Chains A and B, each alone.
Chain A
Amino acid sequence: MQSLYAIYRKELGHYFVSPVAYIVVAVFLLLAGFFFYLYVGSAMRQSLEMAMQGMPSEMDIPGEVMRAFFGLLSTLILFMAPMLTMGVYAEERKRGTMELLMTSPITETQIVVGKYLASLTLFAVMLLPTAVYVAYMCLHSEPRPPWSLMLAGYLGALLLGGSLLAIGSFISSLTESQLIAFALSFGASLGLWVIDFSVRGTDSTLGQVLQYLSVIRHYDDFTRGIIDTSSLIYYVTLPALFVFLTVRSIDSMRWRRA
């Protein structure tokens, strides 16, 4: 385990000296904060209007805001996750350090899991500040929404991020170009996002399968406070699958000519 921790530490350290990571986190927090502000403002205004028109306002402001906010979060994550993973393997290959890792008594699995956990940690750190103001809002709302709603939403965000990071990680291991890694990861994530578009509303078996595969569908459930075991299974299996594929991809480097 020492080796896995060493990789994890190194990777995390690299994130913290890399401009890309700082920019991604900054942009993410800026946009998230800005939109949160807009959502709260708009919800308050709407509630006021309803009160002024004489309609009793039973509007659940924190709930509305959270719903909109978590929706935004998923979009941001869709863009940010590929950016966090695009350089993970590209840099190692360019610098030749993969050769160092692969001639050391460390397994590919340790390498891949170490890197993956580092990206996950950065992602969690990125999410954390947003939880502060969402919690603040919940704290000062009357009536106070159940904490489980917010926690479920963030759990969903973490799991969604975890899945997209695993996909991005795998694709990053396939290419030396960060740009290609980003583009393909984004494309793949988007693909899994809209995979059930065509069968929305239908109840065919294919439709149900595709709906299950949609990475966003489970997230939507979480943000509504529904934590389904099948969703949990999905959110654990998907990253596991892509971590496995990444391990295979790394291993295949040993067989390549150059």
Chain B
Amino acid sequence: MIEVENLTKSYGAVTAVDHVSFSVNKGEILGFLGPNGAGKTTTMRILTGYMPATSGTARIAGFDVFEDSREVRRRIGYLPEAPPLYPDMSVGEYLDFVLRIKNAPAGTRRTRVAEALAKTSLVDKRTELIKRLSRGYRQRVGLAGALVHDPDVIILDEPTVGLDPKQIIEVRNLIKGLAGSHTIILSTHILPEVSMTCDRVVIINKGKIAAVDTPQNLTTQLKGGLKIHVDVQAPEKLLAAALAQVTGVSRVDIGPVRPDGHLTVTVEAAQGQDVRSQIAAKIVEKGWALYELRGISLSLEDIFLQLTTDDATHAQPSN
């Protein structure tokens, strides 16, 4: 349903989106994960026809977003980070307006508005002025506006930001309920949201794609030999050197000496390599005291941070 190929957007010397490629299948929910300024909003704006790309192509439902922009826009619902609402309109009036500018056929407007209100639990707010609504309700109105014309594709930029936990759950359930009949791209900072609602995840950083996969794959793929926590008593420099020699080890991080004289070491291995036994063997070989050795599974959060931090500090495992 959505194909993006080598999409690039530069503003002068700054490249906001750098040769991004991915695709989304019909009915799928794709998560867009990345730190601020990674290029998520820019990519979405290109997909929704708001701005043109510098190079590369994007196609939605077979239509090119630049060449056939009008066709694409007919089939898209978009909720930007700040919902585009008119405060002086009532909820019903707003949805009716959205339907009109999306070229919905005249006779269907009333039913569509009613359906959208039902889906977003806004039925009793139909005549309420938008300026009187709380943040959570406004977000829902924005969401209603993104789906009222029954688009093939719905693009949501941070749909749960600013909502309270109950509302967040409602919105997530709503989004999950939309999958199948709609194709959805949603961008977020909230990592659990991605694993809970999305079929696949695109991790984007500094305009480039860092990873594309299902949330499960991303965690298991890197799980095998990843981080190993070692509690050992040994001279620091020699320990570091010895561990670095073990094949498959990509990084050794030795923490400060603990009160009991032990060193806490975190060892990172290359993808897919389980080096626990080798490390244990090496430590024993050198005659040092090994107190604890365990593998630490990475949560999506760790993976996210790992993939998006490009300096030497690495993430603390979350268990």
* Interface residue ranges, A against B (CB under 8 Å): 2-3, 5-7, 10, 13-14, 17-18, 95-106, 254-255, 257
Contact = CB atoms under 8 A, between A and B. Distances in A.
B88 interface: yes
Given A5-B100, A14-B88, 14 more contacts: A2-B100, A6-B97, A6-B100, A6-B101, A10-B86, A10-B97, A14-B86, A17-B88, A97-B86, A99-B50, A103-B50, A104-B101, A105-B71, A254-B50
Contacts of B86: 10, 14, 95, 97
A97 B85 contact: yes
A99 B100 contact: no
A3 B84 contact: no
Contacts of B80: 96, 99-100
Contacts of B49: 102-103
B100 A96 contact: no
B103 A103 contact: no
B50 A102 contact: yes
Nearest to A114: B101
B85 A254 contact: no
B206 interface: no
Nearest to B100: A6
A101 B97 CA distance: 11
A102 B46 CA distance: 12
A243 to B, nearest CB: 19
B82 A3 contact: no
Contact of B76 (A5, A7, A101, A103): A103
B106 interface: yes
Interface residues of B, number: 30
B85 A2 contact: no
Interface string B67-105: 000110110101010111111110000000110111100
B158 to A, nearest CB: 13
The 8 closest A-B pairs by CB, nearest first: A6-B100, A100-B84, A103-B48, A97-B84, A105-B73, A104-B101, A105-B74, A105-B70
B310 to A, nearest CB: 24
Interface in B142-199: 145
B52 interface: yes
A96 B50 contact: no
Contacts of A14: 86, 88
A196 B31 CA distance: 62
Contacts of B50: 99, 102-103, 254
Nearest to B87: A95
B192 to A, nearest CB: 27
B103 A254 contact: no
B257 interface: no
A65 to B, nearest CB: 40
Contacts of B97: 6, 10
A147 to B, nearest CB: 40
Contacts of B281: none
A98 B103 CA distance: 17
B51 interface: yes
6 contacts: A2-B100, A10-B86, A95-B84, A97-B86, A103-B48, A105-B101
Nearest to A101: B101
Interface string B103-131: 10010000000000000000000000000
Contacts of A101: 101
B100 A3 contact: yes
A5 B49 CA distance: 22
A28 to B, nearest CB: 23
Contact of B101 (A3, A95, A96, A255): A3
Contacts of A254: 50-52
A96 B84 contact: yes
A19 to B, nearest CB: 11
B101 A7 contact: yes
